[in-house]
Amino acid sequence: MKLEPKIALRLEFLVRVVRKECKHLATTDERLFGSAFTSEQAARLEEDVDLAERVEAFVGRFGRLQDTLGDKLLPLLLTVLGEKLSSAIDNLDRSERLGFIQSADEWMTMRNLRNQMVHEYVEDPIVLHSALQTGHIFVPALVAAANQMCTEIEQRGWL
């Protein structure tokens, strides 16, 4: 199926962005979690500017990749596949059925986690530490979803 040029350009752009976001998230994940990230470190973020910047980068990149995938690429991909867009959870269920994500429930957990990392950043270092550790565990699932969507687009010859 040949896509109209405007949609093809948008898909091409989003795939480029997603690939870059995956690379940047992986780099930041390695820099933050390459050695053990502790709750004591989370409590010292105000004094450790370098660590605080790495945490901020991780939170931002995790959230940005999830936003790009869930709010931009996935809806466009579903549309070009002829799927009817619906509520976010219905789109995620459809995405799970099509094999783009492992689990709609897991995706919603990641979404809530992202919000927790952002909003708990300043207030509670123990909650922040836990959220960051969980985010680190979810990075492979997030990157896998990105790769699956991009691969689908490439295999269909839409790039």
Question: Mind listing the pLDDT tens digit for each residue in 104-140?
Answer: 999 999 988 887 787 655 578 888 898 999 999 999 9
- pLDDT on residue 2: 86
Q: Is residue 91 within 8 Å of residue 111, measured between CB atoms?
A: no
Domain count, the chain: 1
CA distance 102 to 88: 16
The string of pLDDT tens digits covering residues 42-79 is 999 889 999 999 999 999 999 999 999 999 999 999 99
Asked if residue 118 lies in contact with residue 59, where contact means CB atoms within 8 angstroms, the answer is yes
d(CA 153, CA 159): 7
**Cβ atoms of 69 and 88 closer than 8 Å:** no
What percent of the chain has a predicted confidence (pLDDT) above 70? 97
67 vs 72: CA distance, rounded Å: 7
Give residue 85's domain range: 5-155
What pLDDT is attached to residue 127?
84
